[in-house]
């Protein structure tokens, strides 16, 4: 089973070792050394044998160096590795880059040769993975990039990260929706279910699918509290109360990382975000954009928002990502004024609170482009990528000064950048100490050792398609979609429908073939229908001139005249046809005006037409309860506080509301 590694990968030869160890390797405490032979895969370097055990000769010197010895703890290996690294190699660990693509698009396949300079010259070792193509091809490309890294001086492997990949919605910088991956509701839908065991199982599925294409870091979960109902990112949270969110965040991290004791070899490292208070944006405007820089939060409510992160800390999440946002002007912490800089540059919020109070000792990764300039084009709206930046509160500083300030505040790694010259220059000029760089490098390297990448950074590309979208996973994803649906209205117990009695259906927002498969006959006009089935989104506006603002869902929430959902319902109602309305609740819609016109109404958090029709026909039952309230008016939304949960006046549906089949009785929980 153990064979000598050969350097000629293109002849198809590599070393496959023994059973991978399953040691508990936490990000929050000293991880134990391993005692079982892990799998070794070598393509560009050799293999050492000592006492019948096998080790990856990453340094290429024929000697077993401490960082190559998997029997040592991740901390000990990281310390030895960093001591051997040049300043530029350490700086490379502190960058999280974006690979170039062959066609220049965001989702296209990588130009692996184009990555070579970043890997070999700038020593970048972390890259975000945005590809969404063929499963096997993506796996082969990650392997090809890993070969370049393995051939380097110390053989330090690459870590590929990804935004969420297992939901239906795709938004640049937020989520990826590649074909073949298992689908389930957005996190808010899992909050509607409230089942930590289900979240853990889904996370295990996601981790397997990530690993199949070489992704070993999840840029999730969001532990943010969805307290401002107009906010764009709330659909990726689990709700608006820490007691509701923290257990689900905990289960999410456990599922990805492989243990309640921290990151395991073979796990996927999690990056819990966005520390802290991101869900309390002024007017719900998002801080990716210059017009949405600020949170509206007090110290008391900020600490309430932070408490949701405790679920991730209790199971030793590998990393934390701060929010882009600026603290509320005049905010204090422990009686001291908070510096008016974004959280990623804010020592009080990072080093003093995250590390000092919460004792977090993983690594802190900035969100993308916080050190970049935001020139006039950025401020006024642009789609030019090289004109984008989010340096909120530190606009007057130079790029190098922003790096120095971020490091001083507690950042270890910077997202979206690959210029190691900056950090090298800061150390050489005496503005940042070598010891501080070493500290960040050790924190980052420790996670890399915990992942087991120094022994085996490769994936089996031929087998990867079989690991993605398995029948069992698809069934679990569909179950989650079913369970997440919230039944809001069911007049006269109309639902579930009998397609034999309501055969002719007027469809809006539903695929005709899916409806036929469910037993309905689609008709072109509502006057010819027995039933109207309407699927619509929560209304929104956007900032079309801004790169991120153009895809944001912002503004008023009312489904009234002139909105797609309202107008479709009104048309069916005018024809005398009963209406079943399903609303995508990425933000909490105001349904006061449309409610009197519908016979039945459901809310969803990202489900397929099939899942909706399964509910409508009774093949499955809705089990969701509102994870946040649905307000009664936009005026009530404007009057509520951005930093407090479900606090609007006289909500149309309170948090925890949900009906069941067939009774009309409301099912409420303690939320």
Cβ neighbours around 346 below 10 Å, total: 24
Cβ(536)–Cβ(564) under 8 Å?
Answer: yes
Q: Which two tokens stand for residue 23?
A: 């040691």
Nearest Cα to 569, choosing from 613, 599, 546? 599
- Torsion 21-22-27-32 (CA) sign: negative
* SS3 category, 521: strand
What are the residues facing 269 on neighbouring strands? 217
- 83/419 Cα distance (integer angstroms): 22
Helix, strand, coil abundance in the chain, percent, nearest 5 = 35, 15, 50
Where on the phi/psi map is residue 572: left (φ > 0), alpha (ψ -120 to 50), or beta? alpha
Nearest Cα to 252, choosing from 211, 191, 305? 191
Catalytic residue among 367, 412, 582, 643: 367
Q: How large is the greatest C-alpha to C-alpha distance in the chain, in angstroms?
A: 83
Q: Give how far Cα 124 sits from Cα of 96, 164, 417, Å.
A: 7, 23, 9
For residue 509, the Cα-to-chain-centroid distance in whole angstroms is: 27
- Please, what is the Cα angle at 427 between 425 and 430, to 5 degrees? 110
- 302/575 Cα distance (integer angstroms): 51
| 367 tagged catalytic | yes
What one-character-per-residue DSSP string does 116-163 give? HHHHHTS---EEE----S-HHHHHHHHHHHHHHHHTSSS-PPPEEEES
Nearest Cα to 225, choosing from 284, 303, 308, 295? 308
Q: Which residues are catalytic?
A: 367
């Amino acid at each position: 089973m153990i064979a000598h590694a050969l350097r000629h990968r293109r002849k198809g030869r590599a070393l496959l070792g023994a059973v991978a160890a399953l040691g508990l390797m936490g990000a929050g405490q000293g991880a134990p050394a391993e005692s079982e032979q892990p799998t070794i895969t070598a393509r560009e370097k050799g293999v050492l044998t000592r006492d019948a055990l096998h080790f990856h000769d990453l340094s290429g010197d024929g000697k077993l160096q401490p960082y190559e010895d998997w029997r040592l703890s991740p901390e000990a290996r990281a310390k030895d590795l960093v001591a051997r690294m040049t300043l530029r190699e350490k700086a490379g660990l502190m960058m999280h880059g974006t690979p170039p693509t062959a066609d220049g698009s965001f989702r296209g396949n990588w130009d692996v040769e184009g990555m070579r300079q970043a890997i070999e010259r700038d020593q970048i070792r972390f890259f975000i993975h945005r590809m969404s193509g063929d499963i096997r091809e993506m796996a082969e490309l990650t392997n090809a990039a890993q070969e370049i890294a393995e051939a380097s001086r110390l053989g330090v492997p690459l870590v590929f990260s990804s935004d969420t990949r297992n939901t239906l919605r795709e938004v640049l910088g937020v989520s990826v929706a590649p074909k073949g991956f298992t689908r389930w509701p957005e996190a808010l839908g899992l909050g509607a279910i409230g089942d930590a065991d289900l979240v853990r199982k889904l996370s295990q599925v996601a981790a397997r699918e990530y690993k199949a294409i070489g992704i070993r870091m999840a840029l999730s979960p969001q532990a943010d509290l969805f307290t401002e109902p107009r906010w764009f990112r709330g659909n990726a949270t689990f709700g608006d109360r820490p007691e509701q969110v923290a257990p689900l965040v905990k289960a999410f991290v456990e599922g990805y990382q492989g243990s309640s004791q921290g990151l395991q070899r073979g796990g996927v490292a999690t990056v819990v975000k966005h520390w802290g208070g991101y869900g309390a944006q002024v007017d719900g405007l998002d801080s990716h954009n210059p017009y949405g820089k600020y949170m509206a939060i007090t110290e008391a409510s900020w600490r309430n928002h932070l408490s949701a992160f405790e679920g991730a800390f209790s199971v030793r999440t590998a990393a934390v990502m701060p929010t882009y946002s600026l603290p509320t002007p005049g905010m204090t912490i422990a009686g001291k004024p908070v510096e008016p800089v974004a959280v990623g540059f804010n020592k009080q919020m990072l080093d003093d609170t995250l590390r000092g109070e919460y004792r977090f000792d993983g690594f802190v990764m900035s969100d993308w482009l916080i050190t970049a300039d935001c020139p006039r084009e950025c401020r006024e709206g642009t789609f030019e990528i090289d004109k984008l930046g989010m340096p909120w509160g530190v606009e007057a500083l130079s790029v190098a000064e922003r790096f120095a300030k971020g490091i001083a505040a507690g950042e270890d790694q910077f997202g979206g950048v690959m210029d190691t010259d900056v950090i090298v220059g800061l150390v050489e000029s005496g503005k940042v100490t070598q010891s501080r760089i070493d500290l960040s490098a050790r924190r980052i390297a420790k996670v890399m050792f915990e992942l087991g990448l120094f022994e085996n950074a490769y994936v089996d590309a031929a087998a990867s398609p079989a690991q993605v979208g398995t029948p069992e996973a698809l069934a679990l994803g569909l179950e989650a979609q079913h369970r997440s649906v919230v039944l809001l209205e069911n007049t006269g117990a109309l639902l579930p429908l009998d397609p034999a009695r309501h055969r002719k259906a007027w469809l809006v927002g539903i695929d005709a073939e899916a409806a036929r498969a469910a037993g309905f006959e689609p008709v072109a006009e509502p006057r010819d229908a027995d039933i109207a089935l309407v699927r619509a989104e929560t209304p929104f506006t956007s900032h079309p001139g801004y790169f991120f603002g153009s895809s944001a869902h912002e503004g008023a929430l009312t489904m009234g005249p002139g909105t797609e959902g309202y107008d479709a319902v009104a048309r069916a109602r005018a024809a005398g046809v009963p209406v079943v309305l399903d609303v995508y609740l990425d933000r909490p819609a105001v349904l006061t005006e449309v409610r009197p016109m519908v016979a039945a109404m459901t809310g969803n958090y990202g489900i397929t037409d099939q899942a909706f029709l399964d509910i409508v026909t009774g093949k499955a039952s809705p089990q969701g309860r509102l994870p946040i309230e649905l307000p009664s008016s936009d005026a009530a939304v404007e009057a509520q506080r951005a930093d407090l949960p479900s606090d609007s006046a006289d909500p149309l549906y309170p948090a925890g509301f949900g009906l069941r089949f067939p009774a009309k009785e409301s099912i409420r929980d303690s939320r």
